[in-house]
Amino acid sequence: MVSVFAAFSFIVMMFNVPLPGGTTGHALGVTVGAIVLGPAGAILAVSIALAIQALLFGDGGITTLGANCFNMAIVGSLVAYAVYQLASRGADLSSRRRVIAAAIAGYVSINVCALVTAIEFGIQPALFHDAGGAPLYAPYPLRVAIPAMMIGHLTFAGLAEAAVSAGMVSYLQRADLGLLRGVGPVPMAALPVPDGPRLSGKLWWLVGVLMLCTPLGILAAGAAWGEWSSKELSTRVHAVPAGLERLSSVWTAPFPGYAPSFIRSPLLGYLLSAMFAVGVFLLASLIAMAFGRRRIKTDKALS
């Protein structure tokens, strides 16, 4: 289940939406993970997705992986889970209020993530600069970073996360209510015990359908605010910050920008990148299941 929600989060983040100022944003998929897996499981799933993005596709960056995991996986999961619990308290698992609660949790969580990220951007010029006062990394102060991040997330990106969260909870209410059994004061005996492989199979099919639609994710032009490479940043500021320039060569991803060098079509390259990543998640899931079954057989034999 961690693998399938890691894949879901990875795929959701490939769908870019246009934001004011010519930049783009995306949903996180963290809310539904927190609802189904709890905050600890969602933190693990989203962190895995972010690590795959950074290592294989250069998305987010290696040197900022810890910050990204904190902002999106940890903060996002904890906020989403807390808001969902509060908004859905006392509601039946199959009620429409659960769907609305998921939408609220998604909207609030992604905006808190954006605010934390904006603060991290904005304090860098004051904390990290050379002898002449020039920023070493992020060049924009708080008065620029916070509005730039929050305007887009309070509008388009926040609504995208709300829609994804509400849609997934609505789907799970119909597909198998057992996935939502751990949320709210619902007795375990009141719900059927879910079959793990059967449930994860349904979710893998959903991830597969979303994966086939990923080429739509690059129709929105422009990079996300603050995720610029040194080359992209050189077109926005007079001089690329020295620290950023130095760290830009720490890691070279094998498929940078979700664009394999041997594929000429950006749409096809984007789709193949999504297929490759989902294959990695699926393989990890199968290995974990095989290991678990083998361990169970060993424990039974010893007992």
252: domain CATH number is 1.10.1760.20
Give residue 246's pLDDT. 87
Q: What is the pTM of this model?
A: 0.88
Give residue 187's pLDDT. 42
Q: How far apart are CA 147 and CA 30, in angstroms?
A: 23
Most confident of 18-32, 130-144, 289-303: 130-144
Q: Look at 94-108, 121-135, 179-193, 268-282 and tell me which has the smallest mean pLDDT.
A: 179-193
Give residue 192's pLDDT. 44
Q: What is the pLDDT of residues 91-141, one digit of tens each?
A: 999 999 999 999 999 999 999 999 999 999 999 999 999 988 889 998 899
- With bands split at pLDDT 50, 70 and 90, how would you rate the model's confidence at 78? very high
Between 19 and 115, the higher pLDDT residue = 115
- With bands split at pLDDT 50, 70 and 90, how would you rate the model's confidence at 186? very low
Q: What is the pLDDT of residues 205-247, one digit of tens each?
A: 889 899 989 888 887 767 788 887 777 777 777 778 888 888 8
Signed CA dihedral, 219, 211, 284, 33: sign only: positive
* Mean pLDDT, the chain, whole residue set: 87
The whole domain housing 196 covers: 2-302
Give the chain's domain count.
1
